[in-house]
Structure 1
Amino acid sequence: MYSFTSILSLVCAIASFSSFCLSLPVSCQASSSATSCAADTSGSNSSLTSSTPSLSALEVDLSLGTVRGVNTSYGSQRFTLPYAQAPVGELRFASPQPLSAFPSQSASLSLSSSSVSDIYNATQLPPACMQYGDDTYGISSDKVSEDCLYLNVYRPASSSQATSSKPVLVWIHGGSFIAGSSTAPGLDASYYVAKHNVVVVTLQYRLGMFGFFSPSGSKGMGLDGNQGLRDVVAALEFIQNNIGEFGGDPNSVTVAGQSSGAHMVRALLSTPSASSLFQRAIMHSDPANYGTQSSATSEQVSDYALEQTNCQSLECLRALDANTLVDAGYATVSAASNIGPSVSAAETWRPTKDDFTGTCFESDPATSLAASSGKSIIVTNVANEGGSVIGSMLQPTTMSDAATLRAYPVTLTRSQLLSQMFNGNRSDTIGSSEEYAMATTDAEDSSTAESDGLRSNLEMILTQGQFSCAAWYNARRYANGGQVYLGSFAAGIEYPSNKDNDYCETAGRTCHEDDILLLFSDPTLNSLGLTSSQKTLLNEVQARWAQFVRTGSPNTRTLDGWSPVTSDSTRINVLSLGSASGGGSSLQTVSLTSGDHAGCGMVWTSRVQFDWQMYG
Structure 2
Amino acid sequence: MVVFSFISALTILASLLLVSPSQASPVRSQSFDSLSPWIALESWFCRLVHATLAYKLCLQEGLSAISVDTPLGAAQGVVDVSGTNRFVVKYASADRWSPSSVATAWELPNGSTNISALPLMCPQPYADDSTFTEDCLSMILYVPTNLHVDGGVPTLMWIHGGSFMVGSATAPGLDGSALALATESIVAVIQYRLGALGFVAPNNQTNLGLKDAVNALEFLKTVIPSFGGDASMITVAGQSSGANMIRALLAVPSAQSLFQSAILQSDPMDYGFLSSSDQVQLQEYFVRNLGCAATDSACLSTLTADTIVNGAGLWQWNSSVYIVPAATQSEPMRVVNDGTFINSTLDSTSTFPAVSKPILLSNVADEGGYAVYGAFPDPMPEAEYVTVVNGSLGDTRYETLMGWQSYAVESTADDDYRPQFQDLVTDWVWRCAVWTFARNWVSKGGTAYVGMYTVGASYPGNSAVSFCTESGVVCHQDDIEIVFGTVSNPSSAQSALITEMQARYKSFLYSGNPNPSDSSYTNWQAAGTSDVNAILLGSSGEAPVGACTPSFWGESVAYDYQVYNI
> Which category of TM-score, normalised to the shorter sequence, fits these structures?
0.7 to 0.9
Of 26, 44, 64, 2:72 maps to 64
Partner of 2:54: none
CA distance in 1, matches of 2:560, 2:423: 18
Query: Are 1:149 and 2:145 counterparts?
Result: no
Q: How far did residue 469 of structure 1 move? A: 0.4
The two structures, once aligned, show a CA RMSD in angstroms of: 3.2
State the partner residue of 1:542. 502
- Please name the residue that 2:528 is paired with: 566
Structure-2 residue corresponding to 1:605? 554
- Secondary structure of residue in 2 paired with 1:436: coil
Match of 1:387 in 2: 369
Asked if residue 125 in structure 1 is aligned to residue 85 in structure 2, the reply is no
In structure 1, what residue type is equivalent to 2:3? F
2:357 to 375, 392, 398: 375
* Aligned counterpart in structure 2 of residue 241 of structure 1, from 219, 222, 225: 222
Map of 1:386-425 to 2, 5 A cutoff?
386-397=368-379, 401-403=381-383, 413-422=384-393
The aligned runs of 1:299-310 (5 Å cut-off) are 299-310=280-291
Q: Which runs of 5+ in 1 are unaligned?
A: 1-14, 111-120, 135-139, 404-412, 442-448, 580-585, 592-596
Preserved contact between residue 406 and residue 420 of structure 2 (Cα < 8 Å): no
8 Å contact kept, 1:196–1:543: yes
Query: What secondary structure, in the 3-state scheme, does the structure 1 residue paired with 2:498 have?
Result: helix
Alignment of 1:364 onto 2:345:
yes
CA distance in 2, matches of 1:321, 1:77: 36
- Cα distance in 2 for partners of 1:286, 1:257 equals 9
CA-to-partner distance for each residue in 1:392-431, whole Å, 9 max, x for gaps?
A: 1112317xx322xxxxxxxxx2233224544685344434
Q: Residue in 1 aligned with 2:3?
A: 17
The C-alpha deviation readout for 1:211-270, integer Å capped at 9, x for no partner, is 11245xx4xxxx542101100011111111111112111111110000000011111111
TM-aligned CA deviation for residue 533 of structure 1: 1.2
* Partner SS for 1:450: coil
Deviating above 6 A after TM superposition, structure 1's stretches of 4 or more consecutive aligned residues are 18-30, 41-46, 48-52, 54-57, 104-107
Distance 2:407 2:503 in 1: 37
1:88-487 matches, cutoff 5 A? 91-102=95-106, 109-110=112-113, 122-133=115-126, 142-158=130-146, 161-214=148-201, 218=203, 223-314=204-295, 315=297, 316-327=299-310, 328-355=312-339, 358=340, 360-367=341-348, 371-397=353-379, 401-403=381-383, 413-422=384-393, 426-431=397-402, 433-441=404-412, 449-450=413-414, 453-480=416-443, 481-487=445-451
Report how far residue 337 of structure 1 moved.
2.8
CA–CA separation in structure 2 for the residues paired with 1:507 and 1:22? 24
Cα separation, 1, equivalents of 2:161 and 2:498? 20
Equivalent-residue separation in structure 2 for 1:369 and 1:81 (angstroms)? 39
AA at the equivalent of 2:211 = R
Query: How many percent of aligned residue pairs carry the same amino acid?
Result: 35
Question: Could you tell me how far apart the structure 2 residues matched to 1:397 and 1:241 are?
Answer: 55
Residue identity matched to 2:499: N
Give the letter aligned to residue 484 of structure 2: F
Structure 2 CA distance for aligned equivalents of residues 124 and 23 of structure 1: 29
State the 1:178 CA deviation: 0.9
> Is 1:499 aligned with 2:482?
no
Cα contact 2:193–2:208 (8 A) shared by 1: yes
Deviation digits for residues 478-537 of structure 1, max 9, x if unmatched? 1122211000001111111211421112222110000000012256xxxx1221111111
Conserved? CA contact 1:293–1:353, under 8 Å = yes
Does the aligned pair in 2 maintain the 1:49–1:75 contact within 8 Å?
Answer: no
- Tell me how many residue pairs correspond in the alignment: 532
Distance 1:332 1:42, change over 3 A: farther
Distance, in Å, in 1 between the alignment partners of 2:323 and 2:91 is 35
Task: Establish whether residue 552 from structure 1 lines up as the match of residue 540 from structure 2.
Answer: no
Distance 2:153 2:165 in 1: 32
Runs of at least 5 residues in structure 2 that lack an aligned partner in the other structure: 37-42, 44-61
Q: Partners of 2:367 and 2:344 in 1: how far apart? A: 28
- Residue 202 of structure 1 and its aligned partner are, at CA, apart by 0.5
Q: Is the 8 A contact 2:83 2:181 kept in 1?
A: yes
Residue type of the alignment partner of 1:379? L
Deviation at 1:20, TM superposition (A): 7.0
Q: Counterpart of 1:612 in structure 2: which amino acid?
A: Y
CA positional deviation for 1:48: 7.0
Specify the alignment match of 1:588 in structure 2.
542
**TM-score when normalising by structure 1:** 0.79
| Structure 1 position 55, deviation (Å) | 9.1
